[in-house]
Amino acid sequence: MNRNPVYLALDLPRLDAAEALARKVSGHIGGIKLGLEFFCAHGHHGVHELHKVGLPIFLDLKLHDIPNTVAGAMQAIHVLQPSIVTIHAAGGRAMMEDAKAAAGENCKVVAVTVLTSLDGDDLSAIGVNANPYDQALRLADLAHSAGLDGIVCSGHEVGAVHKQWKDGYFVVPGLRPADGKVGDQKRTVTPREARDAGASVLVIGRPISRAEDPLAAAKAIEATL
Ligand SMILES: O=C(O)c1cc(=O)[nH]c(=O)n1[C@@H]1O[C@H](COP(=O)(O)O)[C@@H](O)[C@H]1O
């Protein structure tokens, strides 16, 4: 049987609460995603603590800097043995190449294309004259040619990216169950739609972590997959 593709985004300020939530739903998710909020608050210590839950850890640090600095950051996290690390495709080809070369063994390096919180108006406000779909495909192509394992994109683009990059590893956030609150996300699909379109990993945060009953929410999502 395939591993559960859901990585739970633990965007919570307290370490004890994050660990308790991860343990509670651990039988109904495939991994844990620790992002900027968690890492800035709890650093390496927090990651070591969450490893005790026994699931793969995805470190979503969205690195974006000059190639030398990003390579140094990648080396500094080897010890945390992440299964997946994010960098920003907008950092350019050399940055992506150096990040991949500096990554630890068994660590997938994936590039964020267009954040799921952005729409076409947001892109034009930062001087990008392409719609999110075209821009995501363009950056996916760049990430592929830079030798990365895959990309992060919304469920609207993952099908098209999958067609042109057959063996890529595709991380899809911005997921909402059919009746879910969208919040700050702008390009959303349901977990099932993302999986059917070719997502390798489904990143889900608030629909589980802010649910009245997180265990029931995780089980309900699992049942749709
Ligand atoms: O890299 C990510 O994981 C990411 C990329 C992106 O484009 N959009 C996005 O929402 N994310 C992350 O995915 C998670 C989504 O959380 P929820 O919106 O609460 O499900 C957050 O931890 C975001 O940091």
Instruction: Find out whether 81 and 104 touch, Cβ atoms under 8 Å.
Output: yes
213 part of the active site: no
Q: How far is CA 192 from the centre of its chain?
A: 16
Give percent of the chain above pLDDT 70: 99
183 is known to lie in a ligand binding site: no
| 6-16: pLDDT as tens digits | 999 999 999 99
What is the pLDDT, as a whole number, of residue 181?
A: 87
Q: Which of 1-5, 22-26, 43-47, 176-180 has the lowest mean pLDDT?
A: 1-5
pLDDT bin (cut points 50, 70, 90) of residue 1 is very low
SS3 category, 65 = coil
Q: What is the DSSP letter of 183?
A: T
What are 48-63's pLDDT values in tens digits? 999 999 999 999 999 9
pTM: 0.97
The reported pLDDT for the residue numbered 29 is: 98
CA 199/CA 210 separation, integer angstroms: 23
Residue 121: active-site member: no
In a domain, 1, yes or no: no
- What single-letter amino acid sits at 103? A
Which of 16, 24, 52, 60 does the annotation list as catalytic? 60
What distance in Å separates the CA atoms of residue 151 and residue 112, rounded to the nearest whole number? 6
DSSP strand pairing (31-34 vs 108-112): unpaired
Per the annotation, does 68 bind a ligand? yes
Q: Is the model's pLDDT at 112 over the cut of 60? A: yes
Mean pLDDT in residue range 198-216: 97
Domain holding 145, by residue range, is 6-224
Tell me if residue 100 is catalytic.
Answer: no
The pLDDT of residue 104: 86
The rounded mean pLDDT for the chain is 97
Domain total of the chain: 1
**Mean pLDDT throughout 140-146?**
98
Position 2 confidence tier, pLDDT thresholds 50, 70, 90: low
160-206 pLDDT tens trace: 999 999 999 999 999 999 888 899 999 999 999 999 999 999 999 99
| Residue among 90, 92, 77 at smallest CA distance from 34 | 77
Element (DSSP H or E) covering residue 42:
helix 36-51
pLDDT score recorded for residue 3: 83
Counting residues of the chain whose pLDDT is more than 90, the rounded percentage is 96
Position 142 in a domain: yes
CATH number for the domain harbouring residue 79 = 3.20.20.70
127: left (phi over 0), alpha (psi -120 to 50) or beta: left
Compute, in angstroms, the gap from residue 52 CA to the centroid of ligand 1.
23
- Ligand 1 centroid – CA 150 distance (Å): 16
Quick check: is 163 in a domain? yes
Residue 44: its pLDDT value, please?
98
